[in-house]
Amino acid sequence: MVWLSVWSVAFLPLIAIRAASSGDGEQGLYFRGGIGPEIAHKTDVKEFFGPSSGTQVKYDAGLRISAAGGYQFCRYFSAEVESGILYNSIKSISGPGSSGSDIDASVVNVPLLANAVFHIPLESNFVPYCGFGFGGSTSVLTIDHATIAGRTLDGDDSDFVWAAQAFAGAPVRQRPDALVSGGVHAKILTAER
Protein backbone atom coordinates (compact mmCIF):
# COMPACT_ATOMS: atom_id res chain seq x y z
CA MET A 1 0.00 0.00 0.00
CA VAL A 2 1.35 3.43 -0.93
CA TRP A 3 0.25 6.49 1.08
CA LEU A 4 0.57 9.67 -0.90
CA SER A 5 -0.58 13.21 -1.33
CA VAL A 6 -0.86 14.63 -4.83
CA TRP A 7 -1.02 18.37 -5.53
CA SER A 8 -1.51 19.56 -9.05
CA VAL A 9 -1.72 22.94 -10.70
CA ALA A 10 -3.31 23.62 -14.07
CA PHE A 11 -3.72 26.67 -16.25
CA LEU A 12 -6.51 25.99 -18.70
CA PRO A 13 -7.77 27.81 -21.73
CA LEU A 14 -11.45 28.00 -20.92
CA ILE A 15 -14.48 27.72 -23.15
CA ALA A 16 -17.83 28.30 -21.46
CA ILE A 17 -21.25 27.83 -23.01
CA ARG A 18 -24.45 29.07 -21.40
CA ALA A 19 -27.02 26.37 -22.20
CA ALA A 20 -30.09 28.26 -21.00
CA SER A 21 -30.78 31.63 -19.48
CA SER A 22 -33.62 33.68 -18.12
CA GLY A 23 -32.74 36.38 -20.64
CA ASP A 24 -31.02 38.80 -18.24
CA GLY A 25 -27.63 37.05 -18.48
CA GLU A 26 -27.52 36.53 -14.73
CA GLN A 27 -29.31 33.24 -14.05
CA GLY A 28 -29.49 29.90 -15.75
CA LEU A 29 -27.81 26.62 -16.54
CA TYR A 30 -24.34 26.60 -18.04
CA PHE A 31 -21.66 24.24 -19.27
CA ARG A 32 -17.93 24.89 -19.46
CA GLY A 33 -14.96 22.86 -20.54
CA GLY A 34 -11.23 23.28 -20.76
CA ILE A 35 -8.00 21.67 -21.84
CA GLY A 36 -4.49 22.56 -20.78
CA PRO A 37 -1.28 21.53 -19.06
CA GLU A 38 -1.23 19.56 -15.81
CA ILE A 39 1.68 20.22 -13.47
CA ALA A 40 1.78 17.75 -10.58
CA HIS A 41 3.83 18.52 -7.49
CA LYS A 42 6.19 15.86 -6.13
CA THR A 43 4.73 13.06 -4.01
CA ASP A 44 6.25 11.90 -0.75
CA VAL A 45 5.79 8.15 -0.28
CA LYS A 46 4.86 7.66 3.38
CA GLU A 47 4.28 3.90 3.37
CA PHE A 48 5.49 1.13 1.06
CA PHE A 49 5.31 -2.37 2.58
CA GLY A 50 5.77 -0.68 5.96
CA PRO A 51 6.85 2.84 6.93
CA SER A 52 8.96 4.58 4.32
CA SER A 53 10.84 7.86 4.42
CA GLY A 54 12.92 9.80 1.95
CA THR A 55 11.22 8.42 -1.15
CA GLN A 56 9.87 11.04 -3.56
CA VAL A 57 8.05 10.76 -6.87
CA LYS A 58 8.47 13.56 -9.43
CA TYR A 59 6.23 14.04 -12.47
CA ASP A 60 6.57 15.34 -16.01
CA ALA A 61 4.11 18.01 -17.14
CA GLY A 62 0.92 16.35 -18.32
CA LEU A 63 -2.52 17.03 -19.73
CA ARG A 64 -5.77 18.08 -18.09
CA ILE A 65 -9.21 17.94 -19.71
CA SER A 66 -12.22 19.06 -17.68
CA ALA A 67 -15.92 19.76 -18.02
CA ALA A 68 -18.48 21.23 -15.61
CA GLY A 69 -22.16 21.97 -15.58
CA GLY A 70 -24.03 24.09 -13.10
CA TYR A 71 -26.56 26.76 -12.31
CA GLN A 72 -25.83 30.46 -11.88
CA PHE A 73 -28.19 31.69 -9.13
CA CYS A 74 -27.30 35.38 -9.44
CA ARG A 75 -24.51 37.64 -10.72
CA TYR A 76 -22.36 36.69 -7.73
CA PHE A 77 -22.78 32.93 -7.16
CA SER A 78 -23.12 29.64 -9.00
CA ALA A 79 -22.89 25.96 -8.05
CA GLU A 80 -21.61 23.24 -10.34
CA VAL A 81 -20.45 19.65 -10.69
CA GLU A 82 -17.07 19.12 -12.37
CA SER A 83 -15.16 16.12 -13.67
CA GLY A 84 -12.21 15.55 -15.93
CA ILE A 85 -9.04 13.60 -16.61
CA LEU A 86 -5.61 14.60 -15.26
CA TYR A 87 -2.65 12.68 -16.73
CA ASN A 88 1.03 12.80 -15.74
CA SER A 89 3.90 10.45 -16.53
CA ILE A 90 6.31 9.81 -13.68
CA LYS A 91 9.70 11.47 -14.27
CA SER A 92 11.67 9.87 -11.42
CA ILE A 93 11.52 8.09 -8.09
CA SER A 94 14.26 9.07 -5.67
CA GLY A 95 15.15 7.53 -2.35
CA PRO A 96 16.98 4.52 -0.91
CA GLY A 97 16.92 1.60 -3.37
CA SER A 98 14.77 3.45 -5.93
CA SER A 99 15.07 3.42 -9.72
CA GLY A 100 15.78 7.13 -10.22
CA SER A 101 14.84 8.17 -13.76
CA ASP A 102 14.88 4.61 -15.18
CA ILE A 103 11.12 4.31 -14.92
CA ASP A 104 8.09 3.81 -17.15
CA ALA A 105 4.99 4.79 -15.16
CA SER A 106 2.06 7.21 -15.12
CA VAL A 107 -0.71 8.51 -12.89
CA VAL A 108 -4.26 9.35 -14.00
CA ASN A 109 -6.76 11.12 -11.74
CA VAL A 110 -10.48 11.36 -12.55
CA PRO A 111 -12.01 13.82 -10.04
CA LEU A 112 -15.73 14.36 -9.41
CA LEU A 113 -16.24 17.57 -7.43
CA ALA A 114 -19.08 19.81 -6.27
CA ASN A 115 -17.94 23.43 -6.65
CA ALA A 116 -19.09 26.77 -5.24
CA VAL A 117 -18.15 29.63 -7.58
CA PHE A 118 -18.08 33.31 -6.58
CA HIS A 119 -18.20 35.84 -9.43
CA ILE A 120 -16.97 39.43 -9.31
CA PRO A 121 -19.13 41.23 -11.89
CA LEU A 122 -17.43 44.28 -13.33
CA GLU A 123 -18.86 46.87 -15.68
CA SER A 124 -16.96 45.29 -18.55
CA ASN A 125 -16.71 42.01 -20.44
CA PHE A 126 -14.09 40.80 -17.94
CA VAL A 127 -15.74 38.73 -15.15
CA PRO A 128 -13.20 37.26 -12.70
CA TYR A 129 -14.26 34.44 -10.39
CA CYS A 130 -12.89 32.17 -7.67
CA GLY A 131 -14.18 29.18 -5.79
CA PHE A 132 -13.60 25.86 -4.12
CA GLY A 133 -14.82 22.31 -4.51
CA PHE A 134 -14.96 19.05 -2.59
CA GLY A 135 -15.53 15.47 -3.68
CA GLY A 136 -13.40 12.54 -4.68
CA SER A 137 -10.98 11.32 -7.29
CA THR A 138 -10.27 7.92 -8.75
CA SER A 139 -6.49 7.62 -8.98
CA VAL A 140 -4.93 5.05 -11.31
CA LEU A 141 -1.21 4.23 -11.10
CA THR A 142 0.25 2.29 -14.04
CA ILE A 143 3.83 0.98 -13.79
CA ASP A 144 5.62 -0.89 -16.57
CA HIS A 145 8.89 -0.94 -14.63
CA ALA A 146 10.13 0.88 -11.54
CA THR A 147 12.01 0.17 -8.32
CA ILE A 148 11.10 1.49 -4.87
CA ALA A 149 13.06 0.50 -1.75
CA GLY A 150 14.78 -2.29 -3.70
CA ARG A 151 11.51 -3.86 -4.91
CA THR A 152 10.78 -4.07 -8.61
CA LEU A 153 7.26 -3.02 -9.58
CA ASP A 154 5.13 -3.84 -12.61
CA GLY A 155 1.34 -3.51 -12.97
CA ASP A 156 -1.40 -1.08 -12.11
CA ASP A 157 -3.63 -0.19 -9.20
CA SER A 158 -6.45 2.24 -8.53
CA ASP A 159 -8.15 3.76 -5.53
CA PHE A 160 -10.83 6.32 -4.72
CA VAL A 161 -9.53 9.18 -2.57
CA TRP A 162 -11.02 12.36 -1.13
CA ALA A 163 -10.22 15.47 -3.13
CA ALA A 164 -10.52 19.24 -2.79
CA GLN A 165 -9.64 22.14 -5.04
CA ALA A 166 -9.38 25.92 -5.14
CA PHE A 167 -9.57 27.82 -8.41
CA ALA A 168 -9.76 31.24 -10.02
CA GLY A 169 -10.41 32.39 -13.54
CA ALA A 170 -10.87 35.35 -15.80
CA PRO A 171 -13.20 34.75 -18.75
CA VAL A 172 -13.63 37.49 -21.30
CA ARG A 173 -16.89 37.80 -23.24
CA GLN A 174 -17.28 39.70 -26.48
CA ARG A 175 -20.71 40.87 -25.23
CA PRO A 176 -22.36 40.51 -21.79
CA ASP A 177 -25.06 38.25 -23.31
CA ALA A 178 -22.61 36.10 -25.29
CA LEU A 179 -23.24 32.36 -25.29
CA VAL A 180 -19.54 31.50 -25.65
CA SER A 181 -16.63 33.05 -23.75
CA GLY A 182 -12.94 32.29 -23.36
CA GLY A 183 -10.29 33.00 -20.77
CA VAL A 184 -7.78 31.50 -18.35
CA HIS A 185 -8.58 29.19 -15.42
CA ALA A 186 -6.03 28.23 -12.75
CA LYS A 187 -6.65 25.56 -10.14
CA ILE A 188 -4.98 23.60 -7.38
CA LEU A 189 -6.29 20.08 -6.69
CA THR A 190 -5.24 17.88 -3.79
CA ALA A 191 -6.11 14.21 -3.48
CA GLU A 192 -5.00 12.52 -0.29
CA ARG A 193 -5.33 9.10 1.22
Residue 30 is predicted with a pLDDT of 86
Residue 146 is predicted with a pLDDT of 84
Residue 83 is predicted with a pLDDT of 96
Residue 82 is predicted with a pLDDT of 95
Residue 35 is predicted with a pLDDT of 80
Instruction: Decide which of 178 and 64 is more confident.
Output: 64
| Span 140-145, average pLDDT | 90
Confidence check: pLDDT of 173 > 80:
no
- The 10s digit of each residue's pLDDT in 67-89 is 999 999 998 999 999 999 999 99
Give the three-class secondary structure for 147.
strand
- The 10s digit of each residue's pLDDT in 12-25 is 555 555 554 443 45
Can you list the positions of beta strands (E) in 41-103? 43-48, 51-59, 62-72, 77-94
Confidence of residue 189 (pLDDT cuts 50, 70, 90): confident
C-alpha separations of 100 from 90, 97, 119, 124 in Å: 10, 9, 44, 51
Q: How do the domains of the chain map onto residue ranges?
A: 2-89+114-133+166-192
- The 10s digit of each residue's pLDDT in 35-70 is 888 888 877 777 666 667 778 888 998 998 889 999
- The 10s digit of each residue's pLDDT in 82-120 is 999 999 999 988 877 777 778 889 999 999 999 999 988
Confidence of residue 123 (pLDDT cuts 50, 70, 90): confident
Contact present, 129 and 79 (Cβ < 8 Å): no
Return the CA Rg of the chain.
Answer: 19
Residue 152 is predicted with a pLDDT of 83
Contact present, 31 and 15 (Cβ < 8 Å): no
